[in-house]
Amino acid sequence: MIFLKKIFIVFLITLLLILSGCSIEDSINDDQNDIYKSHEQPIAEFEEVYTLGLYEEDEFEHERTFKINNESFNKSIVLGNKTSRDGSFILLIFNHGEQIDFKVGDSKLSNNYSFDIKSGEYMNIEVSLLNLKDGFNSITYILIKDPKVFPNSYETSMELSDIFSIRVNLLKNTDKIPTERPDLFSETIKSETRRVHGPLISNHENLYEILYNERMSNDDFQFNLIYGNSNSRAIDFYIVGLLNYQQIPLNESSFIYDKLEQNDEKSIPINFNITLLEEENNSFQIIMIPTPFEPISKEEPFLFQDPLASNRVLFLKN
């Protein structure tokens, strides 16, 4: 009888410790969520939106330009799901116009990171950038929503163009952003009038006819890439192509660097090499990364134009 009482007491103490631990953990989570909420825009309280912030451990990071001496840069990005639905995302990171590898927590080095986030929750993603070169590193974190969704209509294709981003400038063993720029892309056709803002993937023969579902033949496939600027000032930018969220060349160029004047638009025919298709269903999208040399700071942390994505296209392999 005494032995049973001892077992019951041990069990009771263990249960209380577990419940106490859960209570402490919940309290810590609530406190951290309060920190995240305190740095969100007021619209997050009234609209169904996603929020995104840069953090140093558990503290909000106001700075956007960092002078570094090491080959690595470690910060967290925190995504908040303030919508009524669970979400799914993929994280990609670009240095200027090139997709780069990174680590999330203790995971292996990769050039992408996929995750799900429940309604009402926050996702803290500890990101480490490694092997950074001397000079100016223009870093853009890009989150693409619903990466596994393939468009089956024009409307879906356009809806899947929503992306979220954070930009930081890293000055490694240098004090300033260089004045030199890449060569502007010259193989474009200037539009008489602007009809789009950002990048658009259209039919090669019928300009502005949106592509969303294409079955590939044994020949090379051609489409038109259109990109426009509705801003009241000129912008320069990189344009990158993503096949299944891996960067691929555009007309044999790793990326396009170009500039648009205010209310300006250009187009270019793109030859797509179908030998790149490895899956039966393939997701293709264009990302425009604007003003990569723009200074940003704690006082002025935002660019006047965020990165933009094109309509998403499903390439079906025969």
DSSP secondary structure string for all residues of 251-262: TTBS-EEEEE-T
pLDDT score, position 295: 97
Task: For residue range 227-272, list pLDDT tens digits in order.
Answer: 999 999 999 999 999 999 999 999 989 999 999 999 999 999 999 9
Residue matched to tokens 């092997």: 131
Of 9 and 302, the one with more pLDDT: 302
Q: Is the pLDDT of residue 4 over 80?
A: no
155-160 contacts at long range (C-beta below 8 A, 24 or more positions apart):
156/212, 157/210, 157/211, 157/212, 157/213, 157/311, 157/312, 157/313, 158/210, 158/311, 160/285, 160/309, 160/311, 160/312
- Mean pLDDT of all residues in 58-70: 94
Q: Which residue has the higher pLDDT, 38 or 7?
A: 38
Mean pLDDT of the chain, nearest integer: 90
At residue 16, the pLDDT reads 47
The CA-based angle 86-91-97, given to 5 degrees, is 145
pLDDT at 45: 66
What percentage of the chain reaches a pLDDT higher than 70? 88
Choose among 131, 147, 120: nearest CA to 45: 120
Q: In whole angstroms, what is the distance from residue 317 CA to residue 308 CA? A: 27
Section 199-214 average pLDDT: 95
Burial of 302 (0-12, 13-18, 19+ CB in 10 A): exposed
DSSP structure class, residue 307 = -
Q: 44 pLDDT band (50/70/90 cuts)?
A: low
Q: What is the pLDDT, as a whole number, of residue 198?
A: 98
Vertex 28: Cα angle to 24 and 29 (nearest 5): 115
Mean pLDDT value across residues 124-153? 97
- Phi–psi pair at 30, nearest 5 degrees: -65, -40
Q: What is the pLDDT of residue 220?
A: 79
pLDDT of residue 11: 55
Strand duo 73-81 + 50-56: pairing:
antiparallel
**Got the DSSP string for 15-64?**
HHHHHHHHHHHHHHHHHHHHHHHHTS-GGGGTS--EEEEEEETTEE----
pLDDT for residue 286 is more than 80:
yes
| Res. 27: pLDDT tops 50 | no
- Mean pLDDT, to the nearest integer, of 279-300? 96
Maximum separation of any 2 CA atoms in the chain, in Å: 94
Distance CA 50, CA 161 (A): 15
For the segment 276-299, the average pLDDT, to the nearest whole number, is: 96
The percent of residues above 90 in pLDDT, for the chain, comes to 78
Closest CA to 247 of 284, 214, 272, 292: 284
Which domains, ranges and CATH numbers included, belong to the chain? 47-172 (2.60.40.10), 189-317 (2.60.40.10)
- pLDDT tens for each residue of 76-97: 999 999 999 999 999 999 999 9
- pLDDT(59) > 50: yes
pLDDT per residue over 219-230, tens digit each?
779 999 999 999
pLDDT of residue 24: 40
What is residue 282's three-state secondary structure? strand
Whether residue 25 is predicted with pLDDT greater than 50 in this model: the reply is: no
